[in-house]
Amino acid sequence: MYKYLLITLFLAQFSFSQVSMTTYKYGYNGMELIVKSKNETIIISTFNSKKAIKDEIAQKVYDHFKNSQINSGDTISIQGNDAKVTGKCFISRKKKLISINFYYEKIEWNNGSIELYKKT
One DSSP character per residue, 31-43 reads: EEEEEE-SS-EEE
Task: Give the single-character DSSP code of 59.
Answer: H
For residue 88, the cross-strand partners are: 75, 103
Predicted TM-score (pTM) of this structure: 0.80
3-class secondary-structure state, position 61: helix
Q: Which of 39, 81, 24, 63 lies closest to 102, judged by CA? A: 63
pLDDT digit string (tens) for 54-88?
A: 999 999 999 999 998 788 999 999 999 999 999 99
